[in-house]
Amino acid sequence: MEIRDEVRDFHPLLRTLFNKIPNIKSVLYTQGPNEMGADFILVKDDDILGIEIYIGCVVKVGQIKQDHTEINRQIEECKIERVIESGKKRITLNEIWVVSNANITQNAQKKISYKHDSSNVKFIAFETLGKLIDIHYPAYWDDIDQKTGLYLEAVRKLADNLCRSNLISESTGRIDYIEQRLQKLSVDRQISDKQRFRKSDIKQVIASSDLLFIEAVMGTGKSTLLANLAIELATVSNYNVNKTIPVLLPFKEFISDFDCNIGRLIENVSIEIDKEPVEKFLVMLDGLDETKLSGGEKLKIIETIVSTRPQGLDVSIIITTRGFDDPELEKEIETKFDRYTLCSLTIKQVVSLIGQVCKASLGNRNLLKDLDKSPLMKVLPKTPISALLLAKLLNENIQEIPSTMTDLYTKYMELSLGRWDMDKGLQSQQEYDVIGSVTIELAKFMMDHSLYEVSLGDAEALVNQYVTSRNLGLDKDEVFELWMGKTDILAINKHKNTIRFRHRTFSEYFYAAGLDKNNTAVISEDIFDTYWSNTYFFFVGLQRDCPELLESISNIEFTSEALKLMKIFHSGEFMLAAYLTPYDSIKKFLNRSVSDAAKIYCDTVQGKTKDGLSSLTTISLLCIMTHTLCDTLGFEYFSEAIDERSLELCTRGVPNDIECVELFWLNSIQLSMGDKNAYDKMLENYGDSIPLALQRGIVEHASDVLKNTKGHTIIDRFIKNHERKLKKNFSLNQSVYNLYMQPILPESELELKSDIVVSG
């Protein structure tokens, strides 16, 4: 890259290069009228004596051969004592470097050295300079302007740090990224089966969508997906082809630093790369769910993002979040963004992840057979975090495979905090207890204040306060140092002097552990808020045997329609977490959950409630709730309770509206779990008396699950008769059309008093 101007071209290069050389601990740019000979002052440590060495740099563009007058003047000035650090320190330069982007002739070097023989003068000409750039700043040679190159390098570094620090510590080593697939989501099912079941990679999706929402449950790799995409886009070769500037930012920083204004963010990046905003930009905002905001507030932020997207510029946006479990909010998002979800890993991918972490130990023990028999594998989400946590435990030769997700986290946290170090004499029981308690305090502080990270100073103060307020006989500094070594749980950013949990679920687990330890849990509708629901999932899991807790959760009085709906969506995972609870209590909780869901559905379609759910079509609402209940209750653990309740409803006479919907859902869950004759008794007993919407629900769900109903006599006969009636009966056909196409209530009749705001 051609260098013509010393100040404009050469100084920025050297400033960047010097900052990248490891032995140089600080770079002072002193060029100007008060430079006193040195354009730069470099500070490095003497490794032997432990003192600071000060180097003055005399910088020139072009060959240095005959005329040395200006160089001699600057070297003489370099010998003068000076002050740095805003006048706080007086120094004398120990070395002087003469730096040029061209040749410095041997004759010039001899003359300058002879004239200043009392000074330690060294010469850096183009050959030495080139070697330093090769080693410490190779990106400089890329065919790209310097500021853009530095920006892309910073993005790659940020994204790489995210990949390294999200879960696995450096001791585990780097694991290969397993590329995940995405599937399209839609509230109103306005997509074909081909679209719905198609699995695409992230590059295919962003090629066809410039406003993208990616929703997925905890630990599915949303942050890692964005980080790997950013790394790829920030390579010089990719940039030279696509001319796309990647922007990667935690959502909390986007709110705090840019007030949710995309235009302001783009302007800030354009200033950093020193270009007019004429490039393509891909803005990646990670973790909308990590903000303590209501559904209405999130919707307003989304509207602000769309409205502040610069006109006339090519700006694409990706937002990641956990699912909202709120059809009203999801429907509004779909008016602005394309919604996708991350697909679960395949069994092969899970085994691959476990194998990468476990390495040889996986082959030494018959772990795959042990895993296959474990209750955990029946409920373990096929997500990266589940596989990696389990792999870490297996790698440590634990004697017992965990039974539930909470057990998995508990064993992992015990391992990471040093439970087994006590047996080796590396850590005392007291130190283990203190570190666990301090980690709980950190989680509480961060989650209560919605923080992504805290300063190391605040973390140290937290340890100091805990230790000094107790008569433990422990050195607070030693405890802090020991705590900072728990890098399987905590990630330290040495550049920002901050600390955070490696994964959000870690802070949620420790917050739940604090609720359990201090008996401070408050059971209210707020436990189903997206921000808190995972914490209370862990809390229930820590209780394990908790019939009274499940009873309290079942009896919550709701003021929020959205949270009442979320209770249904989370009921299954709460019951699975409480797996040691007497099964009669589980049956009672399950029956109440399905009955409550049926009441919400009936009240909505009958016009008794006029909130945002009524803006959906009847089939859309039925489909969403059916698939949700199948997902949350479709586990073998619930089979006995579902079979018992289904049989009871089928044999007690003609069911009322709520019971009919309840029976439909129980049969739908049974079908999803492999009972191909699940609808038979309902169809035999009630046939045409089943409400039309539920008849369509049976047709849709059976077609989805079975694909081909031939050989399933009763359901096949029912579907054929139903389709035949539709062809012959225009009125019936019109009714079905209305179920699919018309909102339950027109917009003018909606009373949107819930905490979810639905715009027009």
| Residue 189 in this model has a pLDDT that exceeds 60 | no
Which pairing describes strands 40-45 and 52-60: parallel, antiparallel, or unpaired? antiparallel
The answer to whether residue 422 scores a pLDDT higher than 70 is no
For 486-511, letters b (16+ CB in 10 Å) and e give bbbbbbbeeeeebbbbbbbbbbbbbb
737 by Cβ neighbours in 10 Å (0-12 / 13-18 / 19+) ranks as: exposed
Distance of alpha carbon 575 from alpha carbon 567, whole angstroms: 12
Q: Which domains are delineated in the chain?
A: 6-141 (3.40.1350.10), 147-342 (3.40.50), 348-401 (no CATH), 404-410+417-520 (1.10.10), 537-749 (no CATH)
Region of poorest pLDDT, from 162-176, 241-255, 452-466: 162-176
- pLDDT value, residue 289: 86
How much is the average pLDDT of 470-479?
90
For 528-548, the pLDDT digits (tens) are 998 999 999 999 999 999 999
Q: Enter the tokens of residue 48.
A: 């032997």
Q: Rounded to an integer, what distance in angstroms lies between the CA atom of residue 338 and that of residue 328? A: 15
CA triple 242-244-245, angle to 5 deg? 150
Residue 45 in tokens: 């440590």
Integer CA distances (angstroms), 400 to 375, 396, 404, 407, in order: 12, 11, 12, 11
How many secondary structure helices (H) and strands (E) does the chain include? 34, 16
CA distance 418 to 193: 50
Q: What is the DSSP letter of 9?
A: I
Non-local CB neighbours of 96 within 8 Å, separated by 6+ positions? 38, 55, 56, 57, 58, 75, 78, 116, 119, 120, 121, 122
Model confidence band, residue 754 (pLDDT cutoffs 50, 70, 90): very low
* The amino acid at 689: S
What pLDDT does 363 receive? 45
Q: How far apart are CA 19 and CA 157, in angstroms?
A: 15
> Which residue stretches of 336-487 are H helix?
347-358, 361-364, 367-373, 376-379, 384-395, 405-417, 429-448, 456-468, 476-484
Confidence of residue 42 (pLDDT cuts 50, 70, 90): very high
Burial of 317 (0-12, 13-18, 19+ CB in 10 A): buried
Mean pLDDT to the nearest integer, 677-700: 91
**Can you list the pairs that 176-180 forms with residues at least 24 positions away whose Cβ atoms lie under 8 Å?**
176/356, 177/224, 177/228, 178/345, 178/349, 178/352, 178/353, 178/384, 179/228, 180/220, 180/221, 180/225, 180/342, 180/343, 180/345
Q: What are the pLDDT digits (tens) for 631-644?
A: 889 988 999 999 99
CA distance 109 to 630: 81
Q: Kindly state the average pLDDT of the residues 607-615.
A: 84
Q: 390 versus 697: which is more confidently predicted?
A: 697
Mean residue pLDDT across the chain: 85
Q: Write the CB contacts of 689 (distance below 8 Å, at least 6 apart in sequence).
A: 654
pLDDT value for 61: 92
pLDDT at 300: 92
- Judge whether 611 and 753 are in contact, CB under 8 Å: yes
DSSP designation for 102: S
Is residue 755 pLDDT above 50, yes or no? no
Q: Assess whether pLDDT exceeds 70 at residue 515.
A: yes
**The pairing of beta strand 454-455 with beta strand 498-501:** antiparallel
Is 50 exceeded by the pLDDT of residue 760? Answer: no
Calculate mean pLDDT across residues 432-456: 94
> pLDDT tens digits, residue range 271-318?
888 877 567 899 999 999 888 888 888 889 999 999 999 988 899 999
Of 33-42, 138-147, 438-447, 548-557, the range with the lowest mean pLDDT is 138-147
Residue 361: what pLDDT? 46
More confident residue, 424 or 20: 20
pLDDT digits (tens, 9 = 90+) for 575-595: 999 999 999 999 999 999 999
User: Is the pLDDT score of 753 beyond 70?
Assistant: no
Classified as helix, coil or strand, 375 is coil
345 DSSP 8-state letter: P
Q: Which residue would you say has higher pLDDT here, 344 or 564?
A: 564
* Encoded amino acid at 579, one letter: Y
The residue-averaged pLDDT of 482-492 equals: 88
Is the pLDDT at 658 greater than 80? The verdict is yes
Tell whether the model's pLDDT for residue 359 goes beyond 70: no
CB 265 within 8 A of CB 312: no
- One-character DSSP codes across 187-256: SS--S-HHHHH--B-HHHHHHH-SEEEEE--TTSSHHHHHHHHHHHHTSHHHHHHH-EEEEEEEHHHHHH
* Band of residue 705 on the pLDDT scale cut at 50, 70, 90: confident
Give strand ranges (E) for 583-663: none
Of the listed ranges 1-5, 682-686, 756-760, the least confidently predicted one is 756-760
Could you tell me which residue, 722 or 323, shows the higher pLDDT?
Answer: 722
pLDDT the model gives residue 398: 55
pLDDT value at residue 756: 39
